[in-house]
Every structure is written in structure tokens, then in C-alpha cells.
Amino acid sequence: MPMTALIVDDERLAREELKYLLDSAGGVEVIAQGENGIEAVHLILTHHPDVVFLDVQMPGLDGFAVLKKLLERDEADRMPQIIFATAFDQYAVRAFDVNAIDYLLKPFDRARVLQALERARLRLQEAHQLDQEPPHENGSLAEIKPSDARLDALLRLIEQQQGGVRPRSGKIVLQAHNRLFLVDQKDICFAAIEEGIISVVTPTLEGHSKCRTIEELLELLDPSIFWRAHRSFVVNINHIKEVVPWFKSSYQLRMDDRKQTEIPVSRAQTRRLRELFKL
């Protein structure tokens, strides 16, 4: 019997991309979709899905507020497996890891979606086995399931981290020509990852970052000017020279570096591009 799933995201293209990936994965049935946190609460209470793909950043009621609403309604014992979707806020990703609650980074990667589904299946099996266990000597099962404790701990940690200020370094270290250069963030045109190596390009210099992942690099960058236009590219929006229409309503970005590099915009980020430049 396939897992039942909900998708809640305020971006239509993100919902369509995720549904396509889930449909192609098999073993999961998307039974409903929502555009905001209020719809998420209603759909979860109505359908009781096995898993919910929940956007973190939504207008009004965000993903964390959805969890709080459900816990306030004493729905923790029927809480579905939650898989958060986020394009930034990398500080929160560490909290998801610590509390064994899964997440997906936008733009979505098929292999990562399959991994998240497999984790959800395993947790559902564990929860089912727990429900089948005989009562304890006191006549009841443990009052708090492990998933409930993880949710509570996650919410506390998120609240603590949201209340703090995350420092951003003004400079980034690049390795080029066997030397280490300190580069102002504002001078970075874009960064790209290929075969695990991150290249960072400025108008006058191209070097490599010591960061191992794009997510790690994003933690050092100013989120007000750096945007992950594609899973392999982060761009400085102030260094975009031209937005080039591409096939099937997609776009490429021509940057102002010496090579005038063209960078693809993923389907999931097309709406964000239109918002940035009022397209």
C-alpha cells in the first residue's frame, strides 16, 4: 500500500516539481496540495497523511507555526512524518539533523527526495511496531513517543535560533594560484559546484572555496543579495547583467564577470526570479 502524502508550498512551480518527483518515485500517492500554512493544518486534520512536504517560508502561517498549531490541538499522537522544504535558512537545517526530522533544499534533487521518502517509510514502520507493542507494566504505552519529543525539541531550538542574530563575515577566503585571497562578498559574481569543488568568480578573480557544499558556503553569505538560482549555482543579484528568456518559459542569467557566464534558473526558482525583477 503506497504512502499518502501532502504537498504544501506557496510556489506553484515548486509544488509541480515535487509532485513530478514523487510520482516518478513510486510507492507514494499525493492526495492533496496546499498553498499556505492555514491550508496545511486543515488538510492534515482532514486527510491524516503519512507524510507532509511542508515549505518553511510561507506568508502568514509558516511551516514551524503549522507544527505548533497541530501540537496545540493535541494532534501529536497522529503527527505525520514531516519533511521540510527550504531554499535558505541553513541554520535551521542543523536543527533538523539533530532532531532526526528530514528536510529538502530547493531546488529539489531527485536522489535527495528518494532518500527522504525512504527515511519516512522506515519511521512509519517503527511507529507501527511501537503501536503493536504490548502495554507496559503500568498498563499504558510510553506517554511521549520519540517523534513527539523530537518535534518539541526542534521547535524550542528553532525559537532560540530565530531569536538570535547570525553573524555574516564580510570577506570570503578563496584559493587561487597557490595563494589565499580575501574577497569582499559584494565583489562575488557567483559560485558554482562541480564534482564536489566550489568555484567562486569575481570580475577579476576566479578561485576555489574551502567549503565542502553550497549550503556551507551560503551560511557565510549575506542572504539579502545571494540567491540560489539552481542547485549548482549561487548568484549575487547585484552582478546579474541580463535575464535571458530560454525555452519552455525558463530563463538564464548572464553575469557581469569577464566571461559573461550564463547560469540556468531552475524551474522551482523561476517565480523568485520574476519577483526579484518584476518580470
Q: Cell numbers 562541480 label which residue? A: 194
pLDDT at site 107: 81
The average pLDDT across 188-207 equals 93
Q: How confident is the model over 55-78, as pLDDT tens digits?
A: 887 777 788 788 778 777 655 557
Neighbours of 172 (CB within 10 A): 22
User: What pLDDT sits at residue 155?
Assistant: 58
Return mean pLDDT, the chain: 80
How far apart (Å, rounded) are the C-alpha atoms in residues 268 and 55? 13
Report CA dihedral (157, 221, 66, 158) to the nearest 10 degrees: 10
CA pair distance 193, 220, nearest whole angstrom: 16
CB-based contact 44:70 (threshold 8 Å): yes
Q: What distance in Å separates the CA atoms of residue 275 and residue 152, rounded to the nearest whole number?
A: 35
Which DSSP string corresponds to 61-107? S-HHHHHHHHHHTT-GGGPPEEEEEESS-HHHHHHHHHTT-EEEESS
CATH ID of 171-277, from 2.40.50.1020, 3.40.640.10, 2.160.10.10, 2.120.10.10:
2.40.50.1020
The answer, yes or no, to whether residue 272 has pLDDT greater than 50, is yes
Query: How far is 200 from 86, CA to CA, in rounded Å?
Result: 23
Per the model's pLDDT, the better-predicted residue between 28 and 85 turns out to be 28
- The secondary element (H helix, E strand) that includes residue 150 is helix 146-163
What are the extents of the domains in the chain? 3-163, 171-277
Highest mean pLDDT among 66-75, 95-104, 246-255: 246-255
The answer to whether the Cα torsion of 129, 132, 137, 142 is positive or negative is positive
Kindly state the cell numbers that stand for 82: 514531516
pLDDT over 50 (residue 40): yes
Q: Give, rounded to a whole angstrom, the gap between the first and last alpha carbons of the chain.
A: 44
- Please compute the mean of the pLDDT values over residues 194-205 and round it to a whole number: 92
Long-range contacts of 62-68 (CB under 8 A, 24+ apart): 62/37, 63/8, 63/37, 64/155, 64/158, 65/37, 66/8, 66/37, 66/40, 66/41, 67/151, 67/154, 67/155, 68/155
Sorting pLDDT into bands at 50, 70 and 90, what band is 98? very low
For the cut 80, the answer to whether the pLDDT of residue 23 exceeds it is yes
> What is the third-level CATH fold of 3-163?
Rossmann fold (3.40.50)
User: How confident is the model at residue 247, as a pLDDT?
Assistant: 76
pLDDT band at 165 (very low <50, low <70, confident <90, very high): very low
pLDDT tens, 171-194? 888 998 888 888 999 999 999 999
C-alpha cell at 104: 529538502
Domains 3-163 and 171-277 share a fold: no
